[in-house]
Amino acid sequence: MAKLRFDIVSDTHGYLSPALLSALDGADAIVHAGDICSPSDYRTLEDIAPLHLCLGNNDWAYDYGLQIKKTCLFYGGGVLWEVNHYRERLKLAECDIAVCGHTHRPSIDNFGRIIVMNPGSPTFPRGMLGPTIGRVIIEDGTILSAEIVQLKN
């Protein structure tokens, strides 16, 4: 199995900046932790790479299809992912990588073997780093790296 690059995004709120789109180029998959707020942005991200999306507090299922739920569970790169807009709603015992959003503040925490990532927001960042996304590299079911990537303004 080859190395796979998962780019993690949240809280785009209807705007995909040129810096974000450039950063996503080459992703093997995109994980969006909600508040995409735009059916056209949903389609744009799907055209870049396979998209795994959960609903945020500003999203409505009828905009994206009934298959999009408040929690997204999927296998990618040989690991189980759980994605929910709210960190407190993640069921960490069930996954290898958990992704949340909502706060617009990037963070990465390790709870034993489980990585919990909030990629921040590329659109309305809060905190000192400015616009951010997350990036996870996986090979043969092993997480090689998990990082926050600062986008150029």
Give me the domains of the chain, ranges plus CATH numbers: 4-150 (3.60.21.10)
**Per-residue pLDDT tens over the stretch 21-59:** 999 999 999 999 999 999 999 999 999 999 999 999 999
Q: Provide the mean pLDDT of the chain.
A: 96
Q: Which residue has the higher pLDDT, 71 or 112?
A: 71
Per-residue pLDDT, 1: 62
HSE-up (13 A, CA, CB side) for residue 83? 27
Residue 93: pLDDT band (50, 70, 90) is confident
| Token representation of residue 140 | 């043969």
Question: H-type helices in 9-84, by residue range?
Answer: 18-24, 39-48
Per-residue pLDDT, 94: 80
In b/e form, how buried is each residue of 87-98, taking b as 16+ CB within 10 angstroms?
beebeeeebbbb
Percent with pLDDT over 70 in the chain: 99
The single residue listed with the structure tokens 């785009």 is 12
Residue 32 zone, left/alpha/beta (φ > 0; ψ -120 to 50; rest) = beta
